[in-house]
Amino acid sequence: MRPARFSPTAQIFVCGNQRAADDPLTSACGANGAAVYDAVRKVVRERGLLSSVWVTRTGCLGQCPKDGCAVVLYPAGGQLLDVREGDASAVVELALRANPRNPSR
């Protein structure tokens, strides 16, 4: 094991875990995660932050919301639920605003 040579200012994990429509843990992340991922990536790209803010698709983050999808912000902390495409700008803003590694904070 060795430490990475570089890491992003922020990393946004978007759950796109696929589950059957009748799964008691819900299929919301599977239904919404890809669209949220694409929308967040678009905001990051438009703001010229692709090298410093990484957006990563993940499996289950343990929250399993009934609407939208789950998102985790690193290292800012916090887990967001019921996230929809229209929340993309707010997600990026939260990832940067609450981030101790953001120099413009």
Interface ranges with ligand FES (CB under 6 A): 15, 17, 29, 60-64, 69-70
* Nearest to ligand FES of 9, 17 (CB atom): 17
In the complex, what is the shortest distance from the CB of residue 8 to ligand FES, in angstroms, rounded to a whole number?
A: 21
| Closest CB 102 distance from ligand FES, rounded Å | 25
Judge contact between 49 and 102, C-beta under 8 A.
Answer: no
Shortest separation between residue 17's beta carbon and ligand FES, angstroms? 4
